[in-house]
Amino acid sequence: MSKFDFICVSGYGKSGSGACINLLNEFDYIGGIDNEFRIAKDPYGISDLESSLVTDWEFVRHNTAINDFLLYCEMLSRNNPIYGKIGKGFSEKLNVDLKAESLMYIDNLTNFKYSGDTLLHRYKESALQYLLNRIRSKLGFSNHELMYFSTPSSDLFLFETQKYIKNLFKSYASGNNFKKIVLDQAIPPNNIDKTIKYFDSNKIIIIDRDPRDIYATMLMEKRLLGAGDNDDILVEKYIYWHKSIRKKANFKEIKSNVLELKFEDFFVKYDNTVNSVKEFLEINYKHANKKTKFNPDKLLNYVGIWRQVENQKPINRIYKEFPDECFPD
């Protein structure tokens, strides 16, 4: 089995982290899956699980958190069919039984299991299922379900979590002879300290972008906050959102392990940016597939798309608010 570690690449939303990931995937011994890997930060993911099992433990609450985590992992495991429940297909992509690995992970954090019943088992039930359970109770049958009792120390939780994430990727890394796995959006810039510890990595690359282009992208994809409002309201919501999530970014204490890059530099300062990435990651791997997955010459039209916005008044408002973040014309 090959030894590997992780490179975590993240951004603030529509900020262009994909450019960095595609670039890294051109190097020998580096690979990544074609999907965001959000298990640490998503609702019901590892961060929420740690909160319920370690820092904010409660008898019923922690059992519910475990069940929610396992349901979330089922979604990550299964493929996304045309019909049926949504899935991410990670089991197939990583050549691993993600559901089985997740159950083993929880078993390693669990003191014991037992049969029990709480009101929290009921609130997610349909009206029909609730009625059937009441009938079962009246007839003397038990509605007990499997419950977990888990009180891991912070050290045990961290140890098992790092092992779990490594196990998810070891077959993928070994089968492709990867020494480094690139993870997209695994770590949020506003909560690096809490989530980076779950990964065998101390290198994080954060990509940001001209705020006018982020606004334009969200507008074109109809994903802007408060879509349907007039432009004056939309741009003020965008400015508040843009400012707030960057204000919460907290990586001053580990700044030496964080590389901040501008999306635009991948195009206009290509060679310098590539060298900065290699130096930061301390790699000398061959750039064997240069410009096959990220070709700045063919993708330059992604820079300055704010010019395509018909109403330039919001664009000017954004420039006035964030002049230092805007790419020079």
pLDDT of residue 1: 47
- Kindly state whether residue 184 falls inside one of the protein's structural domains: yes
Label the pairing between strands 5-11 and 258-262.
unpaired
Q: Are residues 67 and 207 in the same domain?
A: no
Q: Which residue has the tokens 């640490």?
A: 40
Q: Are residues 273 and 325 in the same domain?
A: yes
Reported as a single tens digit per residue, the pLDDT across 62-103 is 999 999 999 999 999 998 776 678 889 999 999 999 999 999
pLDDT of residue 123: 66
pLDDT of residue 280: 96
Q: Are residues 321 and 203 in the same domain?
A: yes
Q: What is the pTM of this model?
A: 0.89
pLDDT of residue 100: 97
Q: Are residues 193 and 304 in the same domain?
A: yes
Query: Beta partners for 259?
Result: 205
Q: Are residues 188 and 317 in the same domain?
A: yes
Q: Are residues 99 and 10 in the same domain?
A: no
Q: Cα(206)–Cα(211) distance, rounded to whole angstroms?
A: 15
Residue 244 is given by DSSP the state H
- Kindly state whether residue 66 falls inside one of the protein's structural domains: yes
- Kindly state whether residue 89 falls inside one of the protein's structural domains: yes
Q: Cα(201)–Cα(270) distance, rounded to whole angstroms?
A: 25
> Can you give the CATH number for the domain in which 251 is found?
3.40.50.300
**Structural domain containing residue 282:** 1-29+178-329
Regions in the chain scoring below 50 on pLDDT? 1
pLDDT of residue 200: 75
Q: For residue 38, which of 84, 72, 74 has the smallest C-alpha distance?
A: 72
Q: Are residues 99 and 246 in the same domain?
A: no
The number of domains in the chain is 2
